[in-house]
Amino acid sequence: MTNGAEAILQTLIDNDVRVCFANPGTSEMHLVAALDSFPQMRAVLCLFEGVATGAADGYGRMAGSPAATLLHLGPGLANGMANLHNARRAGTALLNIVGDHAASHQDLDSPLQSDIRSAAGVVSTWVGRPAGVADLGPAVIEGLQAGGVATLIVPADVSWSDGAEPGGRVPRAQTPSESGPAGASERVREVLRSGEPVAFLLDGSVLTEAGLAAADRIAQVSGARVFCPTWPARWRRGAGVPRATPISYRAETVREQLDGIRHLVLVEARPPVTSFAYPGQEGRLVAPGVDVHELEGGVAALSALADELAPEVIARLAESRPAELPTGTLNADNWAYVVSALLPDEAILVDEAITSGLTVLPDAFAGAPAHDVLGLTGLAIGQGLPLAAGAAIACPDRPVVCLEADGSAMYTLSALWTHAREQLNITTVILNNRSYAILRAEMGRVGATAIGPSAASMMDLVGPDLDFVSLSQGMGVPATRATTAEELAAQFKTATSTPGPHLIEAVLTSDR
């Protein structure tokens, strides 16, 4: 006899879901118990649900296939929601399994009773809740086919009841580039032939070598500019890869970047807008006279267009241009060149550097060895350390470098314990500027220019200072502190050449 929990695991395994990031409780105990019968499923314990969901996002972005999470009732889901928000914005496919009370327990107003479905709906493209074992297999399949963040709410009695049947094996959900029409839209072709100034904004599966190459070939014959979002879900960058330019976080700079264009062509991308509203400013970053076009069909469509418009043209690849190792005291302007100069080949670069990375990262890493960048897609901070865990599990043979702002690190710091427990090859660099530095910048931008002591105390992470070396060691990750570029270089070399996780606290000085 197969119980519901076993049928869920069998269905996941049959569909190549082999990793489950878990923070279970009593209502998920049958799923935990079933793990020992399914050694093909790797269960990774996380000490907080936001670590589990962020890791599933990182896994999905790098593996290209979904991971599962295992979460405990409504509060467990709530703790995972911020990183599910990021995953939803990244378009990552993953399946949350959220335990619920048994049917007999639903009306008893017991301590953990809550409206799980409403919470799940906020961050999910699909929510299912099988009422009995007969509905279970099909529900798991439906969740996997939904494509994005799917949430399966499983009442405990459905987990423990016998008579369940796995849902079988089904084709994976198609990604946008596989499902769209193969031909470029006629209108985009006309635009490119018109000679009018064009910019491309690429995202999703187009930020691969193939997609970037197609865009670059078109750019060579049309003069089009090629952009990507500030924080893409996954972007291939560095030596040997055709370039794209990130849209700036600052509206003024974006207007310069897009100055003079007549058409903006979006390929799997959203129209560029400011992250926040500011008094008296327009949130749309596309000037009123610019026509916005969507090219459907992703890489295939873009490649077809390149073959048609630039048949003889070969994509230009970024040259290898190793950064020069800076010297002296670390600050927001020089740290990134140390990491870039010493970046291992085929690194996965998790970018939650926030203020410390905004202006410096694109230049610092343009000529570094080819790597994949994973960005903060939904701006819900606390993504980096969990995302790194999932990426490292998806790609055990690739080094992961996690660039992590001090304030952001504190939201999901216990991810470090999972880095240690799973002995993941992750080098975390904490950019410690001892503040929510971005808020100081934003304060002026919203028109609140006089910062008094109370307001300052909401933005400065001092009194006491956070000691990330101590915090990291407390979770089993070896750690060092760097205050100069030379120290960072030496420590980064050691960390990336030694298996397992490491953390470097880079203390950044500022001019304020």
Among 1, 186, 252, 279, binds a copy of itself (CB under 8 A): 279
Q: Which stretch binds a copy of itself (CB under 8 A): 133-141, 197-205, 365-373, 410-418?
A: 410-418
Q: Among residue numbers 75 through 94, which ones bind a copy of itself (CB under 8 A)?
A: 75-76, 78-79, 81-82, 85, 89
Least Cα distance to 207 among 179, 226, 180, 181 occurs for 226
Helices (H), 35-95: 49-63, 73-90
Q: Write the binding mask 109 to 148 for a copy of itself: x where contact by CB under 8 A, - elsewhere.
A: xxxx-xx--xx-xxx-------------------------
Sign of the CA dihedral running 288, 293, 298, 303: negative
Rounded to a whole number of angstroms, the minimum distance from the CB of residue 466 to a copy of itself is 6
Q: Among residue numbers 436 through 495, which ones bind a copy of itself (CB under 8 A)?
A: 438-439, 442-443, 445-448, 450-455, 457-459, 461, 463-471, 473-476
411 part of the interface to a copy of itself, by CB under 8 A: yes
**Whose Cβ is closer to a copy of itself: residue 1's or residue 454's?**
454
**Whose Cβ is closer to a copy of itself: residue 390's or residue 501's?**
501
Report the distance separating Cα 43 and Cα 21, nearest Å: 6
Structure token pair of residue 342 = 């010493």
Q: Write the binding mask 236 to 275 for a copy of itself: x where contact by CB under 8 A, - elsewhere.
A: ----------------------------------xx-xxx
**Whose Cβ is closer to a copy of itself: residue 435's or residue 491's?**
435
Total chain residues near a copy of itself (CB under 8 A) = 100
160 part of the interface to a copy of itself, by CB under 8 A: yes
* Residue whose entry in the numeric block shows the structure tokens 């301590």: 111
Report the distance separating Cα 454 and Cα 451, nearest Å: 8
Q: Write the binding mask 204 to 243 for a copy of itself: x where contact by CB under 8 A, - elsewhere.
A: ---------------------------x------------
Burial level of 104, CB count in 10 A (0-12/13-18/19+)? exposed
Taking residue 125's Cβ as centre, other Cβ atoms within 10 Å add up to 15
434 part of the interface to a copy of itself, by CB under 8 A: no
Tell me if the bond preceding 464 is cis, omega within 30° of 0.
yes
Q: Among residue numbers 15 through 54, which ones bind a copy of itself (CB under 8 A)?
A: 22, 24-27, 29-30, 32-33, 35-36, 39, 43, 45, 47-48, 50
200 part of the interface to a copy of itself, by CB under 8 A: no
**Whose Cβ is closer to a copy of itself: residue 320's or residue 457's?**
457
**Whose Cβ is closer to a copy of itself: residue 112's or residue 313's?**
112
Rounded to a whole number of angstroms, the minimum distance from the CB of residue 41 to a copy of itself is 8
Strand 225-228 with 19-23, pairing: unpaired
Sign of the CA dihedral running 200, 318, 490, 511: negative
Report the distance separating Cα 105 and Cα 292, nearest Å: 53
Rounded to a whole number of angstroms, the minimum distance from the CB of residue 24 to a copy of itself is 6
Q: Residue 235 carries which side chain, given as an amino acid letter?
A: W
Are the C-beta atoms of residues 306 and 217 closer than 8 Å to each other? Answer: yes
Q: Which stretch binds a copy of itself (CB under 8 A): 170-178, 204-212, 299-307, 375-383?
A: 375-383
421 part of the interface to a copy of itself, by CB under 8 A: yes
**Whose Cβ is closer to a copy of itself: residue 270's or residue 316's?**
270
Rounded to a whole number of angstroms, the minimum distance from the CB of residue 376 to a copy of itself is 8
**Whose Cβ is closer to a copy of itself: residue 266's or residue 310's?**
266
Report the distance separating Cα 436 and Cα 355, nearest Å: 9
Burial level of 118, CB count in 10 A (0-12/13-18/19+)? exposed
CB neighbours of 171 closer than 8 A, spacing ≥ 6? none
Q: Among residue numbers 59 through 78, which ones bind a copy of itself (CB under 8 A)?
A: 74-76, 78
Structure token pair of residue 263 = 């058409």
DSSP 151-182: EEEEEHHHHH-B--------PPPPPHHHHS-S
Rounded to a whole number of angstroms, the minimum distance from the CB of residue 148 to a copy of itself is 14
Query: Element (H or E) spanning 200, and its range?
Result: strand 198-202
288 part of the interface to a copy of itself, by CB under 8 A: no
Among 13, 102, 287, 325, binds a copy of itself (CB under 8 A): 102
**Whose Cβ is closer to a copy of itself: residue 360's or residue 451's?**
451
Q: Among residue numbers 379 through 398, which ones bind a copy of itself (CB under 8 A)?
A: 379-380, 382
Q: Among residue numbers 305 through 364, which ones bind a copy of itself (CB under 8 A)?
A: none
170 part of the interface to a copy of itself, by CB under 8 A: no
**Whose Cβ is closer to a copy of itself: residue 290's or residue 317's?**
290
CB neighbours of 137 closer than 8 A, spacing ≥ 6? 7, 11, 164, 165, 166, 167, 168
Residue 237, SS3 per DSSP: strand
Report the distance separating Cα 479 and Cα 467, nearest Å: 11
**Whose Cβ is closer to a copy of itself: residue 137's or residue 382's?**
382
Taking residue 220's Cβ as centre, other Cβ atoms within 10 Å add up to 16
Structure token pair of residue 379 = 């701006």
